[in-house]
Amino acid sequence: MATWKTLLLQDSSSPLMEQLMFFHDHTLLILIIITILVGQMLMSMLFNKFINRYLLEGQLIEMIWTILPAVILIIIALPSLRLLYILDENPNPMISIKAIGHQWYWSYEYSDYKNVEFDSYMLPINELKPSSFRLLDVDNRLVIPFNSQVRILTTSTDVIHSWTIPSLGVKIDSIPGRLNQTNLTINRTGLLFGQCSEICGANHSFMPITIESISPNFFLKWINSN
């Protein structure tokens, strides 16, 4: 989860988020190199007293600053295309879960199991336990087995919401009358937090998402107990 000292991305909890972070670092390094190079050239031009009044063209330098940006774009595009391929949906998920946005809470349906559906409301401050997180914890957490391919289907009953878990690299809009889907895999146990990322009304800030990642064996026990 994000804390007051989090300046960059959250720690990854899925292979997809790891790849997104690698691509982010790769692109940021290229941007820093370009910024330093261009800044150095601008500073040298501003503080250089030597000028050439008769300079009208420079074919070599024009060819360099045309080819070099093209090469840099290719260096950025190839990892990006690879990442898009990794992001592609998995045709054979192990579990399908439906997330439905409401003003202002989420409801979940485990479509592979009968009669497993519930609403998930944010815990009010007067009901928080010492181990709970303010404005992030819910009364009914979304339980998902780790190291399993999970398909999330999402829609909305009223306005546009957005189902978002930053540490998983997942952000998908919940749109009325439309069913969107995404895939996720969690590579560790624990609690993962997210929030609605589409302004959806007065209580937009008070419909968090809490995922409880557990082992597949405990997940089957949890399913059977519901």
Query: pLDDT band at residue 105, thresholds of 50, 70 and 90?
Result: very high
Query: In the prediction, which pLDDT does 1 show?
Result: 65
Q: What is the pTM of this model?
A: 0.79
Query: In the prediction, which pLDDT does 207 show?
Result: 92
The dihedral over CA atoms of 12, 18, 20, 24, expressed in degrees to the nearest 10, equals 90
Dihedrals φ, ψ of 175, to 5°? -115, 130
Query: In the prediction, which pLDDT does 75 show?
Result: 92
pLDDT digit string (tens) for 37-81?
999 988 988 888 777 777 778 888 889 989 999 999 999 999 999
> In the beta sheet, which residues pair with residue 165?
170
Domains of the chain: residue spans and CATH: 15-47+58-88 (no CATH), 95-225 (2.60.40.420)
183: which DSSP letter? E
pLDDT digit string (tens) for 202-219?
989 899 999 999 998 998
204: which DSSP letter? G
In this predicted structure, the answer to whether residue 89 has a pLDDT above a threshold of 80 is: no
Q: Comparing C-alpha atoms, which of 184, 174, 128 is closest to residue 154?
A: 174
Dihedrals φ, ψ of 126, to 5°? -75, -5
Mean pLDDT of the chain: 88
Non-local (6+) Cβ contacts of 183 within 8 A are 89, 90, 93, 149, 150, 151, 152
Query: In the prediction, which pLDDT does 132 show?
Result: 80
DSSP assignment of 156-172 equals: ESSS-EEEEEGGGTEEE
Residue range 175-203: mean pLDDT, rounded = 90
Residue range 120-144: mean pLDDT, rounded = 87
C-alpha distance from residue 24 to each of 30, 76, 83, 181 (Å): 10, 10, 11, 24
Percent of the chain with pLDDT over 70: 100
Query: In the prediction, which pLDDT does 11 show?
Result: 81
Residue range 17-22: mean pLDDT, rounded = 90
Query: In the prediction, which pLDDT does 224 show?
Result: 83
**139/128 Cα distance (integer angstroms):** 10
In one letter, which amino acid is 149? Q
